[in-house]
Structure formats: structure tokens, C-alpha cells
Amino acid sequence: MEVIILKEPQQIAKKCADIFQETICQKHNAVLGLATGSTPILLYRELVDRYQKQLLSFENVVTFNLDEYVGLAPEHPQSYSYFMQQHLFKYINISSKNTHLPNGIAQNPIRESREYEEKIREYGIDLQLLGLGSNGHIGFNEPTSSLGSQTRIKTLAQQTIEDNSRFFSADEFQPTLAITMGIGTIMFAKRVVLLAIGEKKARAIQQAIEGPISAWCPASALQMHPHTTFIIDEEAAQFLQMKDYYHWVYKQQQQLLQKLHNEK
């Protein structure tokens, strides 16, 4: 498990974009797992920028999003499908047939969840992006979610409904159910990158990285993942007991990479 603590959200976006670029350039048909929420917005801007500078092409890229609200159609402004269009897809050369999100208005959401899971297992995700709920959730896997869970319908925790209420106006319907990849689905990805910014995430970050592996903090399951990178800011890192060590390890790695680069 790698923990990278950076000062500015912009640095976090760039560091994460480097990992995306590496994945996309290394594999012809890279499969990306994408996330929503406010945290990845700067990353998406950075990816669009790199696409416009012709450093990146999404022509052969396939994407799967983590989750979608039950009851919201793709064209609903609060749906995650709409979010992805507005923040990424409409600016890059990705084919709509290659972008996948659960259908929030599927007639049979149970079947929809099962088929979504099957498709993910068939493709295999090369790089999964995650944000973090203030209660430690990933996707919409709320505390007490099974650590082996697959894509299914979840009821949102009160904390999550409150946290996300800022995106909805007072008289607007705010869903309390979502279709989300499970924790087991996320763990199936070859590589995972989790981003967290701000003090609101500090407790959850400490639990996820240094706490016991527990369904009380779904993100703590990542301690079992063979290739996970946390990229977080100083505020989110404030309760980490091993913070100085993580800084030191990262510095050593950077120096080693620089040395290898110079020797090329």
C-alpha cells in the first residue's frame, strides 16, 4: 500500500493523471473504473487538458463507473451519468459504447446489478479510481457492507445523504438508494487509486490506512489489495500516525526514479 501526501489538490490531480496516462499508454484497450463526487473533478480536468494537448487518447479506452442513483435517468442533472458527461466524456474522444454506468431507472435493478457485475468481471478493470465518503464508504458501500460484496442495490447511510444533499436543491428529490459496485468488485481491479482531500476525510483516511480491516470502514478492505495508492492532501492526512514515514518513503522512491531516469 502506497500513501502519497501532497500539498495542493492540483498536485493530487496531476499525480493521479500520471497513473491514468501510464495505464492508458501501456495497454491498447485499458479498462478504467471511474468515480464521481467533487474530489475527482480536478483529475478529469487534467485528463481533458492532456487529451487536448494530444498526450492522451481515449479511442480504445473502456470505462465502468462505480455507481448510480436508483430513480435517476441518465439525463437527470444529478445523475452520475450526467456528471460523467459534463466533467469528462463530452470533452474526450471516447465512444459512448465504451462507457458503462449502472442504469438507475432499469425496470429490474436486481438484474441490472447482476449484469453490470458480469460485464466488469468479463472486461477486468486495470485501474480503479475511488473517492472516499466521510464515513469511510467507497462507491456507495456504506459501513457494514460485506467486504466481499458484488454490484447490488444499497441504501445510503444518513451521513451520506447529508453529505451529498449539497448537490440537490431543497425541493428536489434526493435518492436514498443506489446501484454500486461491491467491495469485492473493487478488489478485483488490478490497481486502485483512492483520492481524498480536506479535513472532512481525515478520520476515514486514518481508519482506512491504519485502522483494523473492518466492515465499519469499507475503505480499510484496500489494505488487502495488492496494488493500492492513496493520494491525499495534508488535511486529510492529519490523523495518520505514520505520516512522516509515508513522506519519507515517497521521497526515497522519487529519488530512486530520478536516478533511474538519469541513467537511461
Ligand X SMILES: N[C@@H]1[C@@H](O)[C@H](O)[C@@H](COP(=O)(O)O)O[C@@H]1O
Binding of residue 143 to ligand X (CB under 6 A) = no
Terminal alpha carbon distance of the chain? 27
Query: How many residues line the site for ligand X (CB under 6 A)?
Result: 14
**Min CB(195)–ligand X separation in Å:** 8
Q: For ligand X, which is the closer residue by CB, 69 or 246?
A: 69
User: Smallest Cα–Cα separation from 145: which of 90, 220, 200?
Assistant: 220
What does the CA dihedral 29, 30, 34, 39 come to, rounded to 10 degrees? -130
Binding of residue 113 to ligand X (CB under 6 A) = no
Binding of residue 131 to ligand X (CB under 6 A) = yes
Stretch that binds ligand X, among 86-94, 96-104, 127-135, 242-250 (CB under 6 A): 127-135
Stretch that binds ligand X, among 32-40, 121-129, 144-152, 241-249 (CB under 6 A): 32-40
Binding of residue 160 to ligand X (CB under 6 A) = yes
Task: Give the integer Cα–Cα distance in Å for 92 and 39.
Answer: 20
Binding of residue 233 to ligand X (CB under 6 A) = no
**Residues designated as active site:** 67, 135, 137, 142
Give the one residue of 10, 29, 38, 258 binding ligand X; rule: CB under 6 A: 38
C-alpha cell, 3: 500513501
Residue whose C-alpha cell is 490531480: 13
Burial class (CB in 10 A: 0-12, 13-18, 19+), 216: middle
φ/ψ (deg, to 5) at 155: -90, 130
Interface residue list for ligand X (CB under 6 A) = 35-39, 66-67, 131-133, 139-140, 160, 164
